[in-house]
Amino acid sequence: MARAPYDEKLDDYGLAPVRLTPSPRHHEEGYLSRQLSREAFAEAEEAARETHTDIGPPPDGGVAAWSAVAAASCVLLVVFGFSTSMGQLQAYYLENQLRGQSKADVAWLGSIQSMLIYMGSLFAGRVFDAYGPERLMWAGTVLLTSSFIAMAFCTQYWHLILAHMLFGIGGGTVYSPSTSISGHWFARRRGTAVSVVITGAGLGGIVYPLLMREMFVRLSFRNTLFVLAGFTFMAMIPACTIMHARLPRRKPPPWSIFKEPWKEAPYVCLVIGAAVWLTNVFTPYFNAPLLAATNRLSPKITSYAVLILQCGSFVGRILVGPLADRVGVWSVFGAMSFLSSLFVLALWTGNVGPGGAIAGLVLFGMSSGGWMTMVTAATSAISPVTQIGMRIGMLWTFAAIPNLVGPVISGALIGVAGGKFIYAGLFTGLMMFVGSAIMVSPHTVTWWRQRKMKDGESINTNI
């Protein structure tokens, strides 16, 4: 099929297309190709003229590319390493500063923190697309480090709310740029690059619980938080110094550009489905010790429940990137979505015994970690390169409110169940299943239509 002139010119700017139409090659592979409308191309061409630079296609490697990816991984080590370790910290709060508070009350700390990380992504993504990540990284480093120092002096519930809000604002400043940077430098190997970035979150999910568990028994709470502040500052230095965008700086696009993605069914379904799926993604992380304790695991192993889950997450984040480069981003993304639901419903809702509890921790960690890795790659796959930061930021912002209330509702359901996870597990698993179905629905419809077309062609050939 002959290519339109504006399609050929599009390659010169290294831009990914947006509007989805089946191509002959993807009829065979079950994927979708994308084509920019003439209006969107005109805007992209004008943006390229403003920079007076031919950016060319992503290099898919090199020192600058891998340095940016490694630095972004350090950011995720801090932001999601600490966020997914809140179960460890909440257990400490319930035994010390917040003794007497309900589990639902304490769950608000992690929920508000996560909501602010996601909501800040829209603003940060827009700034990143226009100016690059440097200023955002420095601002986020100051806020994140300051939040740990603030936590060190907290003695009351409202003190902790403000301190965790500060961490959430700092995390929102750096999260979207860090997950978007791989789209600037990688195309063919984007799945692997994203996997390296998100693996930092899994590694942080191992490091932070270990640090807290060991230091809480050796140091005071205040000194432990000071150590975490210093560790956080050092971990963020690579992002402040070596993480750079490939695209030249340009004027921020008009606010009207936010309307464009909502005209595309695949993006709309991805955002809505992800918001439903993410409602309870942190609920198992916050309640891993509860699952272990109610399934007769020893107190020592129970204290490592969050760490066991995080180890599974670390493995999942490593494996899905190379796998996605082989079989397709959306194939792996859909599989991780449904597997997470299956593992929660099968292994988190009943009395599964010590072995089943450990399997539930590891398997949900692997699938949810894989999902968190692939959601960025899935968004990038249906977005133009100049809008990756904005579109990822919009997705996380839209998911912020459900993510705020999910763990709180689950905390209340745990109370109704007499301290057991059964109702919260059903709520979590079903929400993830519904979200998965919404996310993959456009691709399922496209696959079904392609299959019917092939069947029709086969019948005509036989006739």
| Model pLDDT for residues 147-183, shown as the tens digit of each residue | 999 999 998 999 999 999 999 999 999 988 888 788 7
> Residue 405 domain-assigned?
yes
pLDDT score, position 48: 43
Distance in Å from the first CA to the final CA of the chain = 27
Cα dihedral sign, 156-162-163-167: positive
Write out residues in the chain with pLDDT < 50, as ranges: 1-52
Q: Is residue 166 part of a domain?
A: yes
Say if 31 falls within a structural domain: no
CATH number (domain holding residue 424): 1.20.1250.20
Strands 33-35, 19-21: pairing kind: antiparallel
Q: Is residue 358 part of a domain?
A: yes
Q: What is the pLDDT of residue 380?
A: 82
Condensed to tens digits (0 to 9), the pLDDT of residues 200-246 reads 888 888 889 888 888 888 899 999 999 999 999 999 999 999 888 77
Predicted confidence (pLDDT) per residue in 406-421, tens digit: 888 888 888 888 888 8
Count CA atoms within 13 Å of residue 3 on its CB side: 12
Residues of the chain by 3-state class (helix, strand, coil), percent to 5: 80, 0, 20
Give the three-state DSSP class for 13. coil
Specify the pLDDT at position 458: 60
| The pLDDT of residue 463 | 56
Which residues neighbour 277 within 8 Å (Cβ) at sequence distance 6 or greater?
Answer: 337, 340, 371, 431, 432, 435, 436, 439
Q: Please check whether residue 13 lies inside any domain of the structure.
A: no
Residue 50 in any domain: the answer is no
| Contact partners, residue 290, CB within 8 Å, separation at least 6 | 414, 419, 421
Among candidates 321, 366, 372, which has minimal Cα distance to 347? 366
CA distance 169 to 161: 12
Task: State residue 459's pLDDT score.
Answer: 59
C-alpha 236/C-alpha 71 separation (Å) is 8
pTM: 0.69
Nearest CA among 394, 129, 385 for reference residue 267: 394
List the structure tokens of 320: 């899905």
Count other Cβ atoms within 10 Å, centred on residue 300: 7
- Domain holding 102, by residue range, is 59-253+261-457
Q: How far is the C-alpha of 152 from the C-alpha of 148, rounded, in Å?
A: 6
Count of domains forming the chain: 1
**Residue 6 located in a structural domain:** no
**347, 286 Cβ separation under 8 angstroms:** no
Within a domain: 47:
no
User: What is residue 54's predicted lDDT score, i.e. its pLDDT?
Assistant: 55
